[in-house]
Chains A and B, each alone.
Chain A
Amino acid sequence: MYETLKPATAWELAGMIATCRERRLPIDVSGAGSKRAIGRPMQTAVTVSTLSMRGIPLYEPSELVMSARAGTSLSQVEAELASRNQMLAFEPIDLGPATGGAAGQQTIGGVFAANLSGARRIAAGAARDHLLGIKGVNGRAEEFKSGGRVVKNVTGYDVARGLTGSWGTLAVLTEVTFKVLPWPEDTATIIFLGLTDELATELMQTAVGTPFEVSGTVHLSAGLAGRLRHDGLKSLGTSLTALRIENFTPSVKYRRDSLREHLKVAGFVKAVDLDAHDSIAFWNELRQLSVLPHGQKLLWRISTTPGKGPRIVAAVRRHMEAEALYDWSGGLIWLEVPATADAGAADIRRAVATHGGHATLIRAESAVRAAVDVFHPMAPAVEQLSRRLKTAFDPDGILNPGRMYTQF
């Protein structure tokens, strides 16, 4: 890396990309760099950071919409929203601490570029579902926009949403417009104790299949639960399966009691309640993956059909030790495995291939990330479309080349 450029406007950014394109200089596209340790290592000549494109040009609380320049920190966005009692309902997770960085660094552009959603994703949708519009510059050095500031919009193709999860390989976002929601008035969490992975998944699936709008479901093995900061919970010595309810205060009480009753009938009895204060602290801890701290071990993120989660983990465990944190009713698994040269990729991907879904290597030394497919390998037809899409946005392959895939 030779230099970091920090354009202050989209126009300036377009000029920089034009120059790089002319000289065939590959660009490391970044915000605050909080996710730099994720993805395949790149060889780039220039770093372009969005950090000087900051600020919130539009916030209409009564329309539930905000626009922020891409380099605005997530913490600033969330503070602004909190001042009007609103939030990003998809509860973006912070991968900083888990990948060796500090917490609270990431930019709002990075949140959407990586499509990072937390526990509430099962009820409220993903980051991509909240994105309404973007402005950006592609690898042709063209400034473009897609979508807008209104929720209902099918004018033209959904290019904005199509850029989520592309990790800066298609375009550099300069501004994002997204939907926001009111903070729930109250919240409560029920934690069931000592369930196996299979029973916990059944519990979580049963809970989200009730009318009580469960807005978070996680399962931690006893080992992971012991790493929680929460004093009461970490000393229990059992696995924990948590269900969250959020709503107006009388509803939270009613729904929590109804849910417990419903689950008792299904045979799930032994549980403790967290009040609003402890509940918020517990889910905030999970947003930073505090139980999977940076260290020697490797970290995978697996998305699958919820019921298949425990089977994938069991299949992996036949080959290696693994600690699993289940989110999204069992459909999202954060898997901590020992450091090996191939990161366990062959065994993990075989298990995922059997049951469906995809696996991404989130944390590993750069040599390992250079050697194995970090993002899930694609079927040939999907790969061809993806390659063409890359060409449509970035024909010379100068934006984050090789970060997601070796081929482009």
Chain B
Amino acid sequence: MNGKLHGIHAPHRKNTVDSAPTRLPVPPVITVPMSMNIGAPAKPVVKPGDVVKVGQMIAEAGGFMSAPIYSGVSGKVKRLDEIVSANGRFDTVIVIETDGEQTVWEGIAPPTVTDKDSFVEAVRQCGCVGLGGAGFPTSVKLNVDPDRVHAIIINGAECEPYITSDTRTMIDDAADVIYGAQLLQKYYTAERIVIGIEDNKPQCVKIMQEAGKDVPGFEVAALPALYPQGGEKVLIYNTTGQVVPEGKLPIDVGAIVINCTTLAVIAKYIRTGMPLVEKVVTVDGSAIAAPQNLIVPVGTPIQNILDHVGLKCEPKKVLYGGPMMGTSVPSLEAPIMKNTNAILAFDEKDAADPVPTSCIRCGRCVSHCPLRLMPAAIERAFDDKDPETLKALKVNLCMECGCCSYSCPARRPLVQVNKLAKAMLNKYNAEQKAAAEKKAAKEKEKEAV
């Protein structure tokens, strides 16, 4: 009844699929930001002068919706500083001068996991956040009643062009992905455990099928390579047929979605006790001389990575993540974060902003929107400052996947407008709510008199 979801045939450009990740030489200094997850920033537990080692906690979770942070290097804390992060907000960072020894912290030991609660606690201690890009604290997602979970969906879609870090996880760490899947199955007793992989990665499909063949209930879903297969709602629908309703979470339809790299990191922590301290990052783009995958400590400045791989020309635009949803960074000092899976650097030609022309109402934004929204109509309602219409058009559902802007022949900045329209609608809803509350309070007062 709901039919197929739309999307775009984005170019794949998976140039680095055969590049087994190598380790970046330890950078002289790393800058670890405290806001690497949705929710509260972490709180530093080290002070300047402290000596830290690999795997040692440097910041504790700043609340329930947060995650601790561990050092990916050994060295000395230089200072606590403030930077402007890529989203424009100020953020505290811990600056560590490395000693190049990469001495492992002596406290590293596998956690004791006996039941669901100790499993969730282990996930929390491991510092994991949604590594596909969202940065949602994983322990919060997993802190649900196991009886509600019917399907565990592992996200191996990696639908963004260029990025191959999840691909490499499936190739190089298949055993950890499967071990993680077994742990989830053990503590959540889900009937199904599905890994969704786009069919442009046949080697991953094969490897996961082989690795999981002895795991009961485990299946591999080869998804069409139609961006955005990795979008949470899209993935749930295409693997289970379930539609996550507006304002609800995947668990409300019995699903937990977890990125394959996130799962591998959790499995590795439970196996060895080494928390999330480093990332596999795809380095690619038209300004990069030798595209490749690198293993880098969280906090590594982008500049060090670009220096290592070499540049063809001066990069005019550098992204965290893929070209469809990635964030452009304001400076090469910006550090690798927990949820950074790629650094893309583009030359002047690829970086140039397109010039928007008038909407010709071709309807491509409508016919490509995976969530069946009407971006052109949203843009008109936004220009008219008409929040009621924005509400009716459900702009709040937009996941900013970029399909509308990508397919627009007039190069309208539709994603940007959707972001602004969401803010306009939120403000309007808050005002409506406040006005209603004020009215109710006044009436109550009247009654009292």
Q: Do A and B bind each other?
A: no
Partner-A contacts on B (CB < 8 A): none
